[in-house]
Structure 1
Amino acid sequence: MVTVSPSECEVSPNWAYSLQLPHDPRAARIARVTLRAVLATHGMSRLQDPAELLASELVTNAYRYSTGPATLRLRGLTRTRLRVSVWDANPYIPPPFGKRSGPVGPVPAEADSGRGLFLVCHYAQAWGGYPLGSGPSRQGGKLLWCEVGVPGERSAAGV
């Protein structure tokens, strides 16, 4: 067994956590609680509000538009930048995550849904999505990701 002290973990900003979520309406809450714990552990609590909103929106969409489990992945890109990714089994990539789609515009006040992806566009500094084939892993579906960081820091990956 190897024990790592917290000071050793703080040296490198490159870390990643994955959380498998069942197809359950409580999955978004579990994702938010996990995200808060991870960000606090890595000294990135100042990203908590926007990251929590983005993760919650992506996990909620995975629950609403897919029939199976989802996976949340949190990855530290730098000491001040986080990538949030969500995999689900539905292969459809909604705008603005698809390569051929433009930004999502404001949603009419009377609409019952559609605000989540608008929020992602507003709060994320970068985002993207891609289909996952049915190769050896047989996962299929898609992966949607977004990045949040301290304003003014360059993106680790382009939109």
Structure 2
Amino acid sequence: MHHAHTPGPRAPTRPHIGEGPVLAGVPHQDIHRIAGPWILPSDPEACRRARTVVRAVLADWALDHLTHTAELLVSELVGNALLHAEGPFHLTVESRTLLRCRVEDGSRQHPCRRTAALDDEHGRGLELVHLMSSDWGVDHTPLGKAVWFDLG
């Protein structure tokens, strides 16, 4: 089920960031990898940079089979942030059982899925995220929100 999350007793908004595999802290749990956060520019270059980062991280983690979908969906989230939110923008990529990509921005306004008319130039991004991801949602952060999706 795809839904937006509200704050609750969850992991910190910005966990300790490390390069490569790190133990998640619970014995016998899967290896938890976190890369980022990367600061993205407040211009269209942000989408290209986000795709480049995702491609490189997934290659390093031997998750190449998720690359095309992850690139498309992260580009949609970054594009939405550029159109509808305020910076700074940050991208974080995590892998445990599922791959999670998070795009943080400085706006508290939640994105809305909608049905675009045939001739609309915008309005299809979150529908793609909804259809192509395992799950997606929105978390409040101290400075705004983080929109994320999972692939697995």
- Normalising by the smaller structure, the TM-score range is 0.7 to 0.9
Indicate the larger mover: 46-55 or 13-22. Answer: 13-22
Alignment partners' CA distance in 2, 1:113 and 1:59 = 14
Which 4+ residue blocks in structure 1 deviate beyond 3 angstroms? 8-13
Q: Out of 125, 144, 148, which is 1:145 matched to?
A: 148
Please tell me the root mean square deviation across aligned C-alpha atoms, in Å. 2.0
Structure 2 match to 1:3: none
Does residue 108 of structure 2 align to residue 91 of structure 1?
A: yes
Structure 1 match to 2:66: 47
Contact 2:110 2:138 survives alignment (8 Å) = yes
Letter paired with 2:139:
Y
Superposed displacement of residue 64, structure 1: 1.2
Instruction: Give the structure-2-normalised TM-score.
Output: 0.76
Change (3 A) 1:9 1:77: closer
Does residue 78 of structure 2 align to residue 59 of structure 1?
A: yes
Superposed displacement of residue 53, structure 1: 0.9
Superposed displacement of residue 14, structure 1: 1.1
Specify the structure having the higher radius of gyration (Cα): 1
Alignment partners' CA distance in 2, 1:114 and 1:66 = 15
Structure 2 match to 1:155: none
Which structure has more relative contact order (CA 8 Å, sep 6+)? It is 2
Letter paired with 2:147:
L
Count of paired positions: 126
Structure 1 match to 2:133: 124
Change (3 A) 1:10 1:142: closer
Does residue 88 of structure 2 align to residue 69 of structure 1?
A: yes
Change (3 A) 1:68 1:42: same
Alignment partners' CA distance in 1, 2:57 and 2:86 = 27
Does residue 120 of structure 2 align to residue 111 of structure 1?
A: yes
Change (3 A) 1:147 1:56: same
Contact 1:10 1:42 survives alignment (8 Å) = no
Unaligned runs of 5+ in 2: 1-19, 24-29
